[in-house]
Amino acid sequence: MRILLTGGAGFIGLPTARALTAAGHDVVVLDSLRPDVHASGTVSDAATTLPDGARLVRADVRDLDAVTASLDGVDAVVHLAAKVGLGVDIADVDDYVSSNDLGTAVLIRAVAAAGVPHVAYASSMVVYGEGRYVCTGAGSGEHGVVAPGPRRVEDLDAGIFDPRCPRCDAVLAPGLVGEDAPLDPRNVYAATKVHGEHLLAAWARETGGTATALRFHNVYGPGMPRDTPYAGVASLFRSELAHGRAPRVFEDGAQRRDFVHVDDVAAAVSLAAAHPAGPGVTPLNVGSGTVTTVGGMAQVLADVMGGPAPVVTGEYRAGDVRHVTASSDRAAEVLGWRARIGLREGIGELVAAPA
């Protein structure tokens, strides 16, 4: 198959390009090499890191002519190009919407005109907002699965970080979120990811095409962005430890996440590109299947790097999500995929990679 890979020179894009070419696909990479993502932003540097046989087109996914030209002979599209992270403040909103919403709209317009039947789309766990919660109340499963409202400032100030049941006020117990959970985007980036899924659903209904929305959980590994407001928590902790400083962990450090290695993510994307689930849009969680706390991630990094132990600060940001962890069982059923790289092994690879 010939596959167009947008954002293919990025953190997730490069391992995906390698996975696709290793599977025998002909890969065309379209990437803008924007400087807030790529330190050098040069075609020569990007070209030398792509796997043999992959062709690089330097262009923005919002450039209809460039995207259209890149679709010549393409059988499927992997759409990773996006502005990622949670941003800095509301001043980021127009760039997020332009890069992500308009970028996806331009792409699917070109895809529809070219008659490409399948798109694998990089969505995110952030579409869920908070994860899955069960109210135990006065007894086991008192109110069942419930959707918590915003956490109270007075609770946060008192060190009560878990959300409460909207019916009885009991502190809720977290669980694993499945793809059928309601979507509740709580920041601009999350809103653009939800909108991307909806745009693809409209395209699929109109054209009969299929899309797989891969809801990545906390992706980490070699090559991840660092020292920027858009970096992931593993990268931020690594940077602190590299400077001899203890990583600072907010709240009580017990926030639950699912950290999945970038090579495992790339394997899932490669399978999704070649195996449409159809019809319409099929959402799939892409996580490790292992629950790890943010404090636990910081401690593993400190152990591997031989640095100071994390400092749990008790500080909080009122809008932060408390717990979101995935069930990736559907990806196993649909794609035959499961993550293979354990956290300590993956952190070792991250630490060994060039900073």
Residues annotated as part of the active site = 189
Q: How are beta strands 256-257 and 76-79 bridged, if at all?
A: unpaired
Q: Dihedral, CA atoms, 196, 198, 200, 203, nearest 10 degrees?
A: -140
Cα–Cα distance between 175 and 247 in angstroms, integer? 27
Q: Is the dihedral of CA 106, 109, 114, 118 positive or negative?
A: positive
Contact, 344 vs 288, CB < 8 A? no
Residue that the structure tokens 């918590």 belong to? 148
φ, ψ for residue 295, nearest 5 deg: -65, -35
Kindly list the distances between the CA atom of residue 200 and the CA atoms of 1, 77, 241, 267, in Å, as whole numbers in the listed order.
Answer: 21, 12, 41, 22
3-state secondary structure of 30: strand
Contacts with 214 (C-beta within 8 Å, 6 or more apart), sequence order: 120, 121, 122, 123, 265, 268, 269, 272, 284, 286
Provide φ and ψ at 145, rounded to 5°. -75, 125
Which helix (H) or strand (E) is 27 found in, with range?
A: strand 26-31
